[in-house]
Amino acid sequence: MAKIELFAPKILAFEGGFVDDPTDRGGATNMGVTLATWRKVGYDKDGDGDIDADDIRLLSKADAITVLKLNYWNRWKADQINNQSIAEILVDWLWGSGKWGIVIPQRLLKVPEDSIVGPSTLYAVNSANQRGLHAAIFQARVSFIRDLVNNHPEQQKFYNGWMNRLNQFKFVA
């Protein structure tokens, strides 16, 4: 079974500190945690009565790992995925692209595309040819990134970084 303890350091290695790039659709972000996500699961870290970019600046690695586990790892039920590399490429896609990181893999697996990981999705993930599934997810993610940049040219500046990140997710049996 996949383990978040193996995955969390990889995510943190990809994610930098605080950024608030106006062309980044995620807005104010720290260690990959966006303000919108922090508002759902976080709290007012600076105690000023609101949750805003100032709170994002104060996030710790422990905060980022908590968000990763509660909102991404657990949403994919990754503890129940047999192959670590499959769990990682799936959770990273969800982390970076929201529901599409579940819906598109569900499409590949020919299960209902409801963005909910239930028994049929987990069964399909674990019973598929793991190397073939990883390759299909990888290629679908390449297409997703290309389509995103084609549809939103202002995102082009992130393309190489996204592809470099994706290329780090190799299949391991």
Contact by Cβ (8 Å): 83, 2: yes
Distance, in Å, from the CA atom of 7 to the CA atom of 27, rounded to the nearest integer, reads 24
What is the enclosing helix (H) or strand (E) of 141? Answer: helix 130-151
Distance, in Å, from the CA atom of 9 to the CA atom of 124, rounded to the nearest integer, reads 27
Distance, in Å, from the CA atom of 112 to the CA atom of 58, rounded to the nearest integer, reads 39
Q: What is the CATH number of domain 81-173?
A: 1.20.141.10
Domain boundaries, the chain: 1-74, 81-173
> How do the pLDDT tens digits run along the chain, 173 residues long?
999 999 999 999 999 889 888 888 788 899 999 999 999 887 899 999 999 999 999 999 999 999 999 999 999 999 999 999 999 999 999 999 999 999 999 999 999 999 999 999 999 999 999 999 999 999 999 999 999 999 999 999 999 999 999 999 999 99
Please say whether the dihedral angle defined by the alpha carbons of residues 105, 107, 113 and 119, taken in this order, is positive or negative: negative
Cβ contacts of residue 111 below 8 Å, gap of 6+? 120, 121, 124
- Phi, psi (deg, nearest 5) at residue 19: -140, 150
Q: Residue 33: which of 66, 75, 76 has the closest Cα? A: 66
